[in-house]
Chain A
Amino acid sequence: AAGVIQSPRHLIKEKRETATLKCYPIPRHDTVYWYQQGPGQDPQFLISFYEKMQSDKGSIPDRFSAQQFSDYHSELNMSSLELGDSALYFCASSPRDRGRRYGYTFGSGTRLTVV
């Protein structure tokens, strides 16, 4: 079965650089979520999209932006990177009407290291 695809798997950037993370949800999943997980921490909700429109927003820094495209893939853009942005970034998808009962499907994540 198709899973949530994230790219790249690993990314190393220098401070003040920009990074773009990509997410390809499971086909027919209309909702995409982005989470950030620091070492030893719980996943923190960043932002979600339903049918290409932003549906909810969490603790996402102003330096970050995201969007969902017509093919439902999503991109998380991160600018002016800081050392504290180093984390695992997960994308998850679900069908909106079944997401609670059957859970979100998470991608393998992008490990971002800022040096």
Chain B
Amino acid sequence: GQSLEQPSEVTAVEGAIVQINCTYQTSGFYGLSWYQQHDGGAPTFLSYNALDGLEETGRFSSFLSRSDSYGYLLLQELQMKDSASYFCALYRDDKIIFGKGTRLHILP
């Protein structure tokens, strides 16, 4: 089986940097993705790491270390609109398995 662990909530200040961690236990997967979901909205794809290392997309970066079973999402120059839930997700077989999600609160 597989399980992904993330903090349930994180709070940061507007303009700051925040890191959301994700640890996992699985017997095999293609890669690790991150999705953003605003309240009542649909999950939106942010990033994908197939290999170890850092992937950067604008204000968002994602990191994967397969040897440590660990990944993170880094959000820079936080904006109020970044207040949302963030899910790490494993690609396994023909589907993605979501973590429990981290709710990001941003203070002005």
Contact = CB atoms under 8 A, between A and B. Distances in A.
Contacts of B30: 100
A56 B48 contact: no
Interface residues of A, number: 24
Interface string B26-55: 000011010100000111111010100000
Contact of B96 (A45, A50, A105, A107): A45
Q: Is the interface of B mostly helix, strand, loop or mixed?
A: strand
Interface residues of B, number: 23
A95 interface: no
Contacts of A31: 94
B41 A45 contact: no
Given A56-B93, A100-B30, A42 B100 contact: yes
Nearest to A100: B91
Given A42-B100, A100-B48, A101-B50, A50 B42 contact: no
Interface string B63-86: 000000000000000000000000
A42 B99 CA distance: 7
B87 interface: yes
A43 B50 contact: no
A109 B43 CA distance: 10
A42 B35 CA distance: 11
Interface of A: 31, 33, 41-45, 48, 50, 55-56, 58, 90, 92, 100-109
Interface of B: 30-31, 33, 35, 41-46, 48, 50, 87, 91, 93-101
22 contacts: A31-B94, A33-B96, A42-B100, A42-B101, A43-B87, A44-B98, A45-B95, A45-B97, A48-B94, A56-B94, A90-B42, A100-B33, A100-B48, A100-B91, A102-B48, A103-B33, A103-B45, A103-B46, A104-B45, A106-B42, A108-B41, A108-B42
Given A44-B98, A106-B43, 18 more contacts: A33-B95, A41-B100, A42-B87, A42-B99, A42-B101, A43-B87, A56-B94, A56-B95, A100-B33, A101-B48, A102-B48, A103-B33, A104-B45, A105-B45, A106-B42, A107-B42, A108-B41, A109-B42
